[in-house]
Amino acid sequence: MTSGFFQEWGEAGIVQIPISMAPPLRQVNSYLLRGPEGVTIIDPGPRTAATEREWGEILRELRLRPGDITSIVLTHHHPDHFGMAGYLQSLTQAAVYMSARSYEESERMWGQGSTVDAALPALFRQHGMPGEWLHQLPAHLRSFIGQVTPFPEVTFVEEGSSILMGGRSWEPVMSGGHAPGHLSFYDQGRRVMICGDAVLPQISPNISLVPDSEPYPLQSFIDGLERLGAYDVSMAFPGHRSPFDYFDERIRLLIQHHEQRLERMERLLQEVPLTGFEVCKTLFGTKLGIHQMRFAMSETLAHLLELVRQGRAAMEETGGDAGFRFRALQQTYKI
C-alpha cells in the first residue's frame, strides 16, 4: 500500500516512511514494523518543525496512538537518523536502542562536552584547509544540535544479541567507517537486511574521519562491507533511496569504487606531494557548500590515511602553515 507518506513492503512486513531532511539527500527512510510486542520505529529522522508535523500525520494515517510505539531502534548516531529519537521517546515512552559505540559517538559530536567544533577545524587546518572554510565550520557543526535535542535515554544493543521487531528476531551486524558502531539488522528467515547507511544504492556513503574517533575509517568501512557481504540477502532496506535487491552487487561496487579512488590519489601523489586539502580540491572542486566541503575533506583524509596505513604513502610535516602533506612511497610503472 502506498500513500503520500509511506509504502508498505508487505512480504517483509516493513513500512517505509520517507522523512524530510536538508538537501542534498532530502529524504531519510524511517521504517516501521508491527508485531505482538508492539510497534518499532527504525531511524525516525532529524528533529525539525517539518518532521514533527510529518510524524503527527503519519501516526494519524496509520491509526497509531503514541503509546503503541514500544521501541525506537537507531542504526547510527547521525542527526538524520538519531535526531528525532529523544523527542519521539518523550511522546511515546518507547525504549530507544542503539549500540554503545554509536552512543559514544553521538556524545562526541553533539553532547554537552563536545569539542568537535574546535577539533575538526584544527584537524582540517593541519591538512591545508584555508581560513575561509575553517571559519564556517564551528557554526555549521553547532547547527545540528537542535536536530538531535533532546538526547534519548538509551538501551544498548550489541552484536551477538538479537532484537525483536515486527514479531521477528533480528540479528544486529556492526560496521564502521561511515559511522562507528553502525548497526544493520538481519532477518535470516526472510533474508532481509535493514542496513541504514552502511550500504546505500546509487550513493557512496560518506567515509568520515572525525578527530579522536576511528583512526582508519576507510579500513573500518571496507571491513564492514565484507562482513555484511557474508549474509544471504534478498532485499535490503537502506537509510536513503529505495529498498533494493542487489545487496551483494552493491557491496562489490562500493569496494571497487574505493579501490579506484585510492589508486587515483596515489597517482596524484606520485606526481607531487600534496596536502589533504589540495587532494580534496582536485577530486571534488571548491564549488561546494560548507556541509559538502566538510564531507569531501573528511573523506579525502580517510583515503589518504588508508594509503599511509597500506604503506603506499607517507604523511610528512611541511614546516609551513599546513602542518602535513602526503607523499607517494611507490611508483606505478606501466609496462
**Residues facing 33 on adjacent strands:** 40
Between residues 128 and 239, which has the closer beta carbon with respect to Zn ion? 239
Residues 258-277 that bind Zn ion (CB under 5 A): none
**Given its phi and psi angles, is residue 181 left (phi above 0), alpha (psi -120 to 50 degrees) or beta?**
left
| Contacting residue, 239, 243, 273, 276, with Zn ion by CB under 5 A | 239
Cite the beta strand spans of 101-253 per DSSP E: 154-156, 163-165, 168-175, 182-187, 192-196, 235-238
Peptide bond preceding 172 in cis form (omega within 30 of 0):
no
Q: Is residue 43 part of the contact set for Zn ion (CB under 5 A)?
A: no
Dist. CA 108–CA 118, nearest whole Å: 12
Between residues 238 and 323, which has the closer beta carbon with respect to Zn ion? 238
Between residues 197 and 306, which has the closer beta carbon with respect to Zn ion? 197
Residues 69-128 that bind Zn ion (CB under 5 A): 78, 80
Point out which span in 122-130, 190-198, 296-304, 305-313 binds Zn ion (CB under 5 A): 190-198
Instruction: Please give the grid coordinates belonging to residue 263.
Output: 589508486
Dist. CA 119–CA 142, nearest whole Å: 13
Least distance (Å) between residue 42 CB and Zn ion = 12
Q: Determine what percent of the chain falls in helix, strand and coil, rounding each to the nearest 5.
A: 40, 20, 40
DSSP letter for each residue of 284-305: H-S---HHHHHHHHHHHHHHHH
Least distance (Å) between residue 205 CB and Zn ion = 7
Q: Is residue 197 part of the contact set for Zn ion (CB under 5 A)?
A: yes
Least distance (Å) between residue 289 CB and Zn ion = 17
Contacts with Zn ion by CB under 5 A: the residue count is 4
Between residues 47 and 78, which has the closer beta carbon with respect to Zn ion? 78
Least distance (Å) between residue 198 CB and Zn ion = 9
Between residues 32 and 279, which has the closer beta carbon with respect to Zn ion? 32
Least distance (Å) between residue 33 CB and Zn ion = 19
Point out which span in 102-110, 195-203, 265-273, 315-323 binds Zn ion (CB under 5 A): 195-203
Cite the beta strand spans of the chain per DSSP E: 7-9, 14-20, 27-35, 38-42, 69-73, 95-98, 154-156, 163-165, 168-175, 182-187, 192-196, 235-238, 313-317, 324-328
Between residues 92 and 175, which has the closer beta carbon with respect to Zn ion? 175
Instruction: Please give the grid coordinates belonging to residue 61.
Output: 494515517
Least distance (Å) between residue 141 CB and Zn ion = 15
Point out which span in 31-39, 168-176, 197-205, 282-290 binds Zn ion (CB under 5 A): 197-205
Q: 94 with 71: CB under 8 angstroms?
A: yes
Between residues 199 and 279, which has the closer beta carbon with respect to Zn ion? 199
Give the residue among 84, 81, 74 at the shortest CA–CA distance from 28.
Answer: 81
- The residues of the shown chain that bind Zn ion, judged by CB under 5 A, are 78, 80, 197, 239
